[in-house]
Amino acid sequence: MHEVKTKAYLLKVIKTFPQTNLEIKELPELPTALLVLVRGQNPRRNIGYRCDMDALPVNETNDLSFKSATQGIMHACGHDIHMTVGLGILNYYSEHQPQDNMIFFFQPAEESESGGKVAYDLGAFTNDFRVDEFYGLHDNPLLKAGVIGCRKGTLFAGTTEVNIKIQGKSGHAAYPHLANDAIVIAANFIEQVQTIISRNIDPVKCGVITFGKLQAGVIRNVIAGEAEIEGTIRGLTQEMIEFIRQRILEVASGLEKSFNCQITVEYNQGGYYPVENDPRLTERFITYMKNNTKVEFEETDPKMTGEDFGYLINKIPGTMFWLGVESKGSLHSADFLPKESAIKMGIDAVIGFLNYRMNLEEN
Ligand SMILES: CC(=O)N[C@@H](CCC[C@H](N)C(=O)O)C(=O)O
């Protein structure tokens, strides 16, 4: 929700496009969000295109003229690529009036805080800004630059953020019997929870539990009285997420007894539902991409990444797809470096598809 400069920059660029058919909508309760309506010539439907805007608290290690200018914050998930492709498509339709109405949604807070869900729940997509079908892409460092990847059904996992607080008792390093070491409890908790994946779920089904943050202790010779752990749970189905959530509660309750401590577990799924591509829209999208000789298309497997676009296409039918950007550094890493050539290829592929789609009579 900190995308203030990013939004100002987007607006500055959009103001340089022909304005004849453009209308901007802002959401006072989600001030960094930006919606742009492009009025169609002969609209039969409203087509939504979404790109996310937020960055991550990662310090970029690439040495480039266009590297992040903000210490400790970078577009390590490629949302700068997403916005640039979005701007390219919007620029094209501001100059070539589309058949249908188009709604461009520049969305804050994809990585956390569920910006897409917040916008939807605030009524962003109502009246003139109603969306009948939604499209959006995510960049993929493992695909060659410009390759479009997609699949029918589940593309991305659903996720739930989990926060754990362990309350032990601090004390002198030399008197462990008079304290209750929260670091030892945290270590046991993490070990036991990982066995949910290795020992409780069917190995051919998918689940992930990652704890990305652990904080405990102040100095080497004071036993830590508290520990805090932050993580994320992932599953390709809502049932799997529910199962993992339940098992974590059971592990926490068992450890409370065995260590005589207090453990609180908090969950927040927000809008990170599994990304379930609509079968009809996605079939059409894949057929177009496969038959377009200028596009290299790859049918992809589901991935355990999350996306709050999952919430939007749970409410409005839609298709999410990958754009290959061929980076050595992975998503969320300090050396993530998408190939810029993917931008133009992505813009051309999406415009080609949207023009084809808008010329179809059927829904
Ligand atoms: C594409 C991507 O990397 N998305 C994020 C979404 C985060 C969801 C939520 N905050 C969580 O951590 O569970 C991802 O980490 O997959």
Q: Could you tell me if 14 and 137 lie in one domain? A: yes
The pLDDT confidence band at residue 66, using thresholds 50, 70 and 90, is confident
The pLDDT confidence band at residue 253, using thresholds 50, 70 and 90, is very high
From residue 114, how far is each of 131, 237, 271 by CA, in Å? 19, 19, 5
Domain boundary among 268, 287, 317: 268
Give domain status of residue 363, yes or no: no
Q: Is 26 a catalytic residue?
A: no
Residue 231 has pLDDT above 90, yes or no: yes
**Residue with CA nearest ligand 1 atom 9:** 112
Q: Could you tell me if 124 and 186 lie in one domain? A: no
CATH code where residue 318 lies: 3.40.630.10
Q: How far apart are the first and last CA of the chain?
A: 35
- What are the strands, taking DSSP E only, across the chain? 22-25, 34-38, 46-52, 101-107, 133-140, 148-150, 153-156, 158-167, 171-172, 207-216, 222-223, 226-235, 262-268, 275-277, 297-299, 318-324
Residue 84: phi, psi to the nearest 5?
A: -65, -40
Give 177-218 pLDDT, tens digit per residue: 999 999 999 999 999 999 999 999 999 999 999 999 999 999
Å from CA of 307 to ligand 1 middle: 6
Q: Are 94 and 38 in contact (CB under 8 A)?
A: yes
Å from CA of 304 to ligand 1 middle: 9
Q: Could you tell me if 148 and 162 lie in one domain? A: no
Q: Is 161 a catalytic residue?
A: no
Domain boundary among 209, 244, 268: 268
Q: Could you tell me if 180 and 131 lie in one domain? A: no
Q: Residue 163 belongs to what domain range?
A: 158-268
Give 23-58 pLDDT, tens digit per residue: 999 999 999 999 999 999 999 999 999 999 999 999
Domain boundary among 268, 297, 322: 268
DSSP 91: H
- What's the confidence (pLDDT) of residue 363? 81
Q: How many domains does the chain have?
A: 2
From residue 46, how far is each of 82, 96, 126 by CA, in Å? 21, 16, 11
Q: Could you tell me if 301 and 250 lie in one domain? A: no
* Rounded CA separation 354/45 (Å): 12
- What's the confidence (pLDDT) of residue 362? 84
ipTM: 0.97
Q: Could you tell me if 188 and 264 lie in one domain? A: yes
Judge if the beta carbon of residue 54 lies within 6 A of ligand 1.
no
Q: Could you tell me if 17 and 115 lie in one domain? A: yes
Give domain status of residue 285, yes or no: yes
Residue 120 has pLDDT above 90, yes or no: yes
Q: Could you tell me if 124 and 176 lie in one domain? A: no
Q: Could you tell me if 150 and 296 lie in one domain? A: yes
